[in-house]
């Protein structure tokens, strides 16, 4: 496919006109869900940030670390591990009512199939995983600060980058199975078509798995997970039971686009670099006497500085959020284009986008400010408009020379 035929990734119409793809009632339903969820989502973010800042920029956090550490003997290790655990627990408890509120909203719209007991178990699993990661990280961090209170962030930045890369590789093996059961897709035409799609795209996958998402939700999704030997296509059982096989292929073609353009690898590298930069900035913050004084900590090696570091990390995360969303939307746009070029089926792509939007009760055309701040994917109307722009460009392109392929060969 020549460049003159395909729009540049991210080249959406700036203001797509409402197409007859969604009825007024369908649009209203998506807006209603978004408006009902927004207070809970924003409230949870603001409450979590406010708590973190209150503990990190006042002596309250230092007092919490000292008190919890004292319950376990008052040693240096007790303060580090106890303080880290207390921060994680308080953060989770703060988010709990907001998460429950958002879940109740989604349940009213028919998107939740899991009971409250199952939801609580998942929350406990998430807490356990967070503690399993946070406690060793905190212990290693303060071991480094103890050895070099001024330059600890140099080795810590390298360790953060390596840890980020390792977690990206291990996530499908260690974390995903905690929340879902995965079974190989039953041999048949759909499995063969998905494997054939990946082969035609030059993407090696280990297997095609089905996730039991219906235990929690009616939402539809699929993804390609893992790197190298761990890579597999994963489809929600809700998608397989609801969508037409061709629509499933379009969803998977989009996900293969992420692999083809090395989005997972690039994301891992950028995440590793970002983690190193964050640690370096935390090193600067921990050397600022005014911040340490406000937090009630003596220096960076003092475990009572832990809430301060958490507060600084939270601020950096909040500030970088819109930038990460913008990058994500561009990446998703490129994957959409890849799906169109791989399948050459714009009409079925539009049908797939409609099904995803309606089943997931998406706001198909949200306010632009919300999209810029929080959306990781373009809206459904923008994706559909882009597909039709691609289709129109392809229809208007001159025919390829006799014997020539309509798109370049895939290079493995």
Predicted pLDDT of residue 36: 97
Beta bridge partners of 222: 235
Predicted pLDDT of residue 146: 86
238: CATH: 3.30.2010.10
pLDDT band at residue 402 using 50, 70 and 90 as cut-offs: very low
Measure the CA–CA gap between 103 and 107, rounded to whole angstroms: 6
Measure the CA–CA gap between 217 and 111, rounded to whole angstroms: 5
Statement: residue 407 has pLDDT above 80: no
Q: What does the pLDDT look like over 255-267, one tens digit per residue?
A: 999 989 989 888 8
Token code pair at residue 327: 């990058």
pLDDT band at residue 10 using 50, 70 and 90 as cut-offs: very low
Q: Which residue matches tokens 């480094």? A: 144
Chosen domain end from 258, 279, 314: 258
Spatial contact of 172 and 141, defined as CB atoms under 8 Å apart = no
Check whether residue 135 and residue 192 sit in a common domain.
Answer: no
Check whether residue 217 and residue 238 sit in a common domain.
Answer: yes
Token code pair at residue 409: 């060969």
Please report whether residue 4 resides in a domain. Answer: no
Q: What does the pLDDT look like over 60-114, one tens digit per residue?
A: 999 999 999 999 999 999 999 999 999 999 999 999 999 999 999 999 999 999 9
| Number of structural domains the chain divides into | 2
Q: What does the pLDDT look like over 45-62, one tens digit per residue?
A: 999 999 999 999 999 999
Statement: residue 281 has pLDDT above 60: yes
Please report whether residue 223 resides in a domain. Answer: yes
* 33 or 405, higher pLDDT: 33
pLDDT band at residue 398 using 50, 70 and 90 as cut-offs: low
Predicted pLDDT of residue 379: 95
Check whether residue 243 and residue 270 sit in a common domain.
Answer: no
Measure the CA–CA gap between 163 and 166, rounded to whole angstroms: 5
Measure the CA–CA gap between 137 and 154, rounded to whole angstroms: 15
Closest C-alpha among 346, 314, 353, 343 to residue 406:
343
Asked which of 1-5, 31-35, 353-357, 368-372 is least confident by mean pLDDT, the reply is 1-5
Check whether residue 231 and residue 166 sit in a common domain.
Answer: no
Check whether residue 96 and residue 136 sit in a common domain.
Answer: yes
pTM: 0.84
Check whether residue 32 and residue 172 sit in a common domain.
Answer: yes
Helices within 148-262 (DSSP H only): 153-170, 176-179, 189-200, 237-242, 245-260
Q: Which residue matches tokens 């998506």? A: 30
Check whether residue 31 and residue 173 sit in a common domain.
Answer: yes
Check whether residue 169 and residue 49 sit in a common domain.
Answer: yes
Check whether residue 45 and residue 154 sit in a common domain.
Answer: yes
Please report whether residue 78 resides in a domain. Answer: yes
Predicted pLDDT of residue 397: 64
Angle, helices 59-71/24-56, rounded to nearest 10 degrees: 80
DSSP class of 16: -
- In the chain, the percentage of residues whose pLDDT exceeds 90 is 73
Token code pair at residue 134: 């946070």
Predicted pLDDT of residue 11: 44
Measure the CA–CA gap between 23 and 126, rounded to whole angstroms: 38
Spatial contact of 88 and 127, defined as CB atoms under 8 Å apart = yes
Please report whether residue 400 resides in a domain. Answer: no
Check whether residue 151 and residue 51 sit in a common domain.
Answer: yes
DSSP three-state, residue 124: helix
Q: What is the DSSP string of 279-295?
A: HHHHHHHHT-HHHHHHH
pLDDT band at residue 142 using 50, 70 and 90 as cut-offs: very high
Predicted pLDDT of residue 170: 83
Predicted pLDDT of residue 81: 96
Spatial contact of 238 and 218, defined as CB atoms under 8 Å apart = yes
Check whether residue 248 and residue 365 sit in a common domain.
Answer: no
pLDDT band at residue 2 using 50, 70 and 90 as cut-offs: very low
Q: What is the mean pLDDT of the chain?
A: 88
Phi and psi at residue 110, in whole multiples of 5°? 80, 20
Q: What does the pLDDT look like over 217-274, one tens digit per residue?
A: 999 888 888 777 778 899 999 999 998 999 999 999 999 999 899 898 888 899 999 9
Mean pLDDT of 321-341: 94
Please report whether residue 323 resides in a domain. Answer: yes
Please report whether residue 345 resides in a domain. Answer: yes
Q: What's the domain range around 221?
A: 182-258
Q: In what order do the strands lie in the sheet with 182-184?
A: 182-184, 208-211, 232-236, 222-225
Check whether residue 165 and residue 28 sit in a common domain.
Answer: yes
Please report whether residue 401 resides in a domain. Answer: no
Phi and psi at residue 199, in whole multiples of 5°? -65, -40
Measure the CA–CA gap between 306 and 304, rounded to whole angstroms: 5
Please report whether residue 133 resides in a domain. Answer: yes
Q: What does the pLDDT look like over 117-129, one tens digit per residue?
A: 999 999 999 999 9
Pairing state between β 182-184 and 208-211: antiparallel
Helix (DSSP H) and strand (DSSP E) numbers for the chain? 15, 4
């Amino acid at each position: 496919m020549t460049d003159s035929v395909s729009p540049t990734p991210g080249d959406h119409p700036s203001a797509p006109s409402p197409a007859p793809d969604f009825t007024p009632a369908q649009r209203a339903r998506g807006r209603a869900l978004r408006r009902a969820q927004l207070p809970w989502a924003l409230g949870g973010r603001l409450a979590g940030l406010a708590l973190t800042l209150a503990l990190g920029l006042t002596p309250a956090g230092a007092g919490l670390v000292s008190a919890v550490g004292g319950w376990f003997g008052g040693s240096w290790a007790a303060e580090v591990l106890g303080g880290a655990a207390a921060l994680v627990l308080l953060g989770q408890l703060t988010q709990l009512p907001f998460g429950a509120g958002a879940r109740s909203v989604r349940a009213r719209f028919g998107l939740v199939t899991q009971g409250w007991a199952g939801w609580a178990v998942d929350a406990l699993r998430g807490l356990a995983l967070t503690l399993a990661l946070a406690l060793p990280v905190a212990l290693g961090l303060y071991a480094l600060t103890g050895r070099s209170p001024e330059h600890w962030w140099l080795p810590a930045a390298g360790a953060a980058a390596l840890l980020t890369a390792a977690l990206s590789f291990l996530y499908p093996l260690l974390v995903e199975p905690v929340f879902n059961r995965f079974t190989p897709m039953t041999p048949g035409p759909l499995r063969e078509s998905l494997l054939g799609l990946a082969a035609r795209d030059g993407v090696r996958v280990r297997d095609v798995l089905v996730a039991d998402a219906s235990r929690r939700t009616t939402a539809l999704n699929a993804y390609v997970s893992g790197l190298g030997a761990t890579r597999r296509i994963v489809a929600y059982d809700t998608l397989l039971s609801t969508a037409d096989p061709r629509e499933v292929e379009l969803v998977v073609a989009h996900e293969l686009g992420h692999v083809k353009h090395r989005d997972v690898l690039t994301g891992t590298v950028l995440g590793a670099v970002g983690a190193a930069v964050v640690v370096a900035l935390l090193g600067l913050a921990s050397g600022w006497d005014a911040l340490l004084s406000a937090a009630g900590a003596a220096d960076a090696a003092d475990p009572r500085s832990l809430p301060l570091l958490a507060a600084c990390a939270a601020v950096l995360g909040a500030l970088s959020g819109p930038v990460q969303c913008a990058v994500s939307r561009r990446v998703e746009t490129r994957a959409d284009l890849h799906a169109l070029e791989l399948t050459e089926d714009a009409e079925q792509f539009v049908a797939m986008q409609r099904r995803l939007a309606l089943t997931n009760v998406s706001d198909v055309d949200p306010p632009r400010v919300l999209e810029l701040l929080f959306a990781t994917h373009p809206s459904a109307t923008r994706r559909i408009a882009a597909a039709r722009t691609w289709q129109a460009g392809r229809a208007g392109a001159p025919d390829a020379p006799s014997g020539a392929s309509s798109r370049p060969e895939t290079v493995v």
